[in-house]
Each structure stands twice: as C-alpha cells, then as structure tokens.
Amino acid sequence: IMQRALGQNTVNNAEKYFGQFCVLLAAYTRKAAGLRDKADLLVKQLLDFANTENPEMRTTLKNFAEELAKVQDYRQAEVERFEMKVINPLRLYGTQIKQTRAEIKKFNKVRNNEIKQLEKLERLRQKSPSDRHTILPKKKNLRAVLSY
C-alpha cells in the first residue's frame, strides 16, 4: 500500500509541476516571440523613416535597422530552439505521465477486484468450512488469476 501511494504521489507531483512548467515556458516563449515581432515592426519603421531622410542619416538609420534585425534573427533562433529542445520534450513527458496514471488506475482496479475475490472466498470458507468441493475450484481459479 505504501509503494502504491508513493507511486500515485509521484505521478500527481509530476503532473502538477510539469504542467506548470509547460504553461510558464510556453508563456515565456510567447513573450520572446512577441518581443521579436515588435522589434521587427521597429526595424520596418526605421527603414521607412530612413527613406525620408538625407543620405547620411539614411545610412545611419539603415545600419541601425540591420543590426537590430540581426538581433531579432537570434531571438527567432532562441524561440525555435526553446520550442524544440524544451517545450516539446516536456509535452512528451506529459503524455508519459498520463499513460502511467492510466496504468496505475488499471493496476488498482485489478488489485481491488482480486481483494474482493479473496474476501468473497474467505467469507465462503467461514460460512461453510466443510464445503470443500465449492471452495477448492474457486481457490484454484483465484490463484490462477493472481499468478498473472
């Protein structure tokens, strides 16, 4: 029982915390992507403004816009790597947690059925201890089920 509770507790904690990790990491990634998008708009505005200025100012603004665009390329790579290397593996772990929870539920159901069968057999044995021809086949069937 202790081991079962420990396994259930482990799955509950993993589900809780990994769910929170996924939510926060996804929010972080969205914020980084939003920042990238805003900076891309800024680059576009700088280039538009540069086209209205004198040649010297135009060159300076275009150079600045190009450098800012390079920074955004790095930010885009960060977003893509974060999704691929962090968020997707966590999602897979979430699927694994759900499968483990389903296996524990299945195991508990089988175990509870076995306990009910043992209790039923024990009641039958206590009710009529001399009725061996009824008890023995049920006991053999239960042992066969329990051995799997």
Integer Cα distance of 35 and 39 in angstroms: 6
In whole numbers, what is the pLDDT of the chain averaged over residues?
A: 84
94 vs 58: which has the higher pLDDT: 58
**Would you state the structure tokens that stand for residue 39, as one six-digit string?**
């900076």
In the chain, what are the domain boundaries?
A: 2-147
Q: Is the pTM of this model over 0.85?
A: no
Residues in the chain: 148
pLDDT digits (tens, 9 = 90+) for 39-64: 999 999 999 999 999 999 999 999 99
Is the model more confident about 124 or about 22?
22
The answer to whether the beta carbons of residues 4 and 108 sit under 8 Å apart is: yes
For residue 51, the 8-state DSSP code is T
Q: Which residue has the higher pLDDT, 7 or 56?
A: 56
Q: Give 109-125 pLDDT, tens digit per residue.
A: 888 888 888 788 777 77
